[in-house]
Structure formats: C-alpha cells, structure tokens
Amino acid sequence: MMEYVHRFDRYVEEAAHHFRRRPTVDRLMYALSESGTHSLVWHGINLADALVGPALTGDADRRRRAVRRSVIQVCEQALVNGPVKMVFRRERPSHIDDHPHDLRVPVTSSFPSGHATAGFCAATLLTEEFGRATLWYGAATAIGWSRVHVGVHHPSDVAGGAIIGVTLAEIAERLWPINRRETAPMPAVDGP
C-alpha cells in the first residue's frame, strides 16, 4: 500500500515542480497557504457571516450557525493537530529549502495536512448550509494544493486530509445538526 502512496506522491510532485519558481504562481500559492494557517480564511468567512448575514437576510439564527461552524472547526483542528498527527508522525518533504516568500513551516507530522482537513471540513459545513459546493470545495482544494506547491506537504497528506476533513464534518453534522428550516441556500447570482 505504501508503495502506491509513494508512487502517487512522486507523480504529483513532478507535476507540481513545473509550476514552482514562477513569480505570479508562487505569490498566489504562498498567499493561499498563509490564508489557511489556523483556519483564518474559514473563521473569517464565519465572522463575516455572523456580522453581516443577519442584517442582509433578516435571519436572526444565522449568527448562531456561523458560531457553530467555527466551534466545529476549532474542535476539528484540535483533534487533527493533536492526536491524529501524533499517530502518524510522517516526515515533511525536504526537497525545498529556499522559499521565495515567508512561510511558516510547522514541526508537526506531515500527515494529514491540517490545511486540507480544515478546508474540506469547512467546505462541507458551508455547502450544507449555503449550497455552492463548487465555490467552497474549490477554495479548499486550492488551499490544500498550495501546501504541496510550497513544499510543506506530500500530495497524499492533502488527499488524506481532504477525506478526514469531510468525514469529521459529517460526524459533526450528526452530533450537532442544524435545524433544516433555519437554512436557506444563497440566492443565485445573475450573469457569468
């Protein structure tokens, strides 16, 4: 099994190598990577929804649902960055030593990617409430991929993190469901 994982990592890593050292791509990938640190982008979305959502929609429970999503994210990150990473203890990639931009390199296990678990957990929760799966999962995928691009995760760390993130969100939804009549999909946007 591990042979297939290493083969997958090598294949994807070769593809990723062709996009490194391109200034525009590097800037974007390092910015995406930073946005996922400590789930900042996901908590930012929840904060914006809690502050602005009720006024825009007249939905008084929206703030409570935004707080619920952030609490689930905090629990998910505590679980992944604590016990889960301690079980695996995988070494991080060592093929990139000089980074063109500032980068916080974690010292925890490489597997699973915390950015990927957080992103896919958030995408699942946001999709449950608002729909727009392509938007949320696209953002989670971009942030996860950025971790491969900047060289702090193996591709399989991100793939495994995505699966773990979705699974933890689905477990959280069973343990702490939202009232379905409290939610409404986001209105459609006209135009391209």
- Summarised one tens digit per residue, pLDDT across range 145-165 is 999 998 888 999 999 999 999
pLDDT at 114: 94
What domains lie within the chain, and their CATH numbers?
A: 2-93+101-181 (1.20.144.10)
Contact 148, 106 (CB under 8 A): no
Residues of the chain with confidence (pLDDT) below 70? 95-104, 180-192
pLDDT at 138: 98
Contact 154, 94 (CB under 8 A): no
Contact 28, 150 (CB under 8 A): no
Structure tokens at 148: 């491969």
pLDDT at 180: 54
pLDDT at 112: 96
| pTM, entire model | 0.86
- Summarised one tens digit per residue, pLDDT across range 119-134 is 999 999 999 999 999 9
Of the candidates 90, 79, 81, 109, the residue with the CA atom closest to the CA atom of residue 169:
79
Half-sphere exposure of 109 (CA within 13 A, CB side): 17
CA-CA distances (angstroms) from residue 40 to 33, 124, 152, 160?
10, 17, 18, 21
pLDDT at 171: 97
pLDDT at 136: 98
Alpha helices (H) along the chain: 2-17, 23-36, 40-57, 62-79, 85-88, 114-130, 133-149, 155-175
Structure tokens at 128: 């449950």
